[in-house]
Amino acid sequence: MALPGMIRPRHVVRPVDATVHRRRVQRLARLAVLAAVLAAAAVPFVPSPAAAASIRVAIIVGPVGEELTPQYIELAEMAADEAERSGATVVRAYSPNATPRRVLRAVDGANIVIYFGHGTGFPNPYSEILKPEVVDGWGLQGPHARGTHEDNLAKGRLAYYGEAWLAANAHPAPGFVMIYSNACYAPGASEGRLPKPDEPEALAHVANYSRAAFAMGASAYYATDFYGGAARLVGALLDQSGRTFADVFRSEPQFRPAALSRHRHPQLAGTQIWLHRSAYFDGKVDYWYAFAGSPRARMGGAGAGHAADPQHGPTSMTLTGMASSYRFTHGFETTPTVALPVGIGGASAGSKYGWVAVCADRCARLPVVDICDCYYGTDDQRIVNLSQAAWQLISDAPLAEGVIPVHLYLDGEIPAGAGPTALAFAVDLKPPGMKLE
């Protein structure tokens, strides 16, 4: 029986043809010792002329037990082979060395991040509320790991590092692409031992997981349970940079148009979620494949990272929802400031965005100085918490009203025509002691 919060990994289903079997044997031989893995992965290659040598791909393999972890590393090396063949630089953080410190070092500045391992999504049977400290993130070596692939949560061999931790600590390149492979919940499906989710639940799984990726600055999110799916996604992203994210998604051989449903992202304006429900794993029908982002956008050019969308521009930078108020953050008692939920970029030392723009009756550009729970991920969620001074700056509503509807612009820019701008000179001053980007 699984412990509460222990998410069983997805079984790996392999093709059985002789070529694939031969490649598997070759890779497994390389994986006998981790040092041998890293040495063998450095085989010379001829980069694709269209590939950008500055592209950095981070690949993470979390511990999923002594039997399955080598299989996940095998899948990771397939993705690494594709990335290196295209001329990208690959940085690995594989169990038993997938410690938080090493993982963050690998992810720093990465244009593509690929994660293999335990998935911890929401909704789940273990909690009635979303817990951002442990869900929608990565399962890595725990504080009591012993240099093995053991994934015992109770003994601290494995630990879940959720979206709050990712938002505060992980720094991929702006506009990076996030790929999840064989991680429960990430593509919509839950756990093999649980009832299959219906479409609303699958949509919630992908919405929450992808929101965590966009909070780190992602331009696109993919999740696949298909054998070799991550490798094919990396190849499609790097070999033909002109492909839209939708084209990349459709390039998967297992893709079936009839299996696809499209949805507006319930939490991020201007973003879609694509769910793919099909037969796989011994004919089992479930949500094995998903995408979130702007389908028309493309992966940015060399070193740029940003998604390019000729019609709509950057995605997921505008949110509409409710704002609440708070009395003060220490050091900013009388200053117009905001706190953001960790799910959209809040951080205790300031936001990755630095400044946001908020519009109600009026618009103002405000510094982000704190985080808030804000009931995020529930029906009562707020997208921003306003200091009392900020509330009064942008709204004529009394503080006793509790919440007000607002538009939140995460890039910090007030769009033309959004409304009158309130006291811009007052809120553009750098608060004392606050280091903003």
Contact of 199 with 384, CB cutoff 8 Å = no
Write the CA distances from 118 to 12, 103, 164, 165, 421, integer angstroms.
13, 15, 17, 16, 46
pLDDT top residue among 307 and 209: 209
Residue 308 has pLDDT above 50, yes or no: no
Residue 421 has pLDDT above 80, yes or no: no
357 DSSP assignment: E
> From the CA atom positions of the chain, what is the Rg in Å?
22
**Rounded to the nearest 5°, which phi and psi values hold at 207?**
-60, -45
Report CA torsion sign: 245, 102, 215, 265.
Answer: positive
pLDDT at 111: 95
Most confident of 19-23, 61-65, 393-397: 61-65
Mean pLDDT of 157-182: 93
pLDDT top residue among 291 and 308: 291
pLDDT at 241: 63
Q: Give the predicted TM-score (pTM) of the model.
A: 0.67
Mean pLDDT of 139-152: 97
Q: How confident is the model at residue 345 (pLDDT cuts 50, 70, 90)?
A: low
Q: Percentage of residues in the chain with pLDDT exceeding 90? A: 53
Mean pLDDT of 116-133: 92
Quote the CA–CA distance of 346 and 181 in Å, as a whole number.
27
Nearest to 178 by CA among 279, 307, 267: 307
CB 231: neighbour CB atoms within 10 A?
23
Most confident of 109-113, 337-341, 344-348, 408-412: 109-113
pLDDT at 7: 40
Q: How confident is the model at residue 231 (pLDDT cuts 50, 70, 90)?
A: very high
**Rounded to the nearest 5°, which phi and psi values hold at 368?**
-95, 120
Mean pLDDT of 323-340: 82
Residue 158 has pLDDT above 60, yes or no: yes
Domains contained in the chain, CATH given: 18-293 (no CATH), 318-427 (2.40.40.10)
* Least confident stretch, 2-11, 43-52, 187-196, 287-296: 43-52
pLDDT at 335: 83
Mean pLDDT of 21-32: 38
Nearest to 138 by CA among 172, 110, 108, 104: 104
Quote the CA–CA distance of 414 and 394 in Å, as a whole number.
13
Quote the CA–CA distance of 231 and 31 in Å, as a whole number.
18
Residue 14 has pLDDT above 60, yes or no: no
* Least confident stretch, 321-325, 344-348, 364-368: 344-348
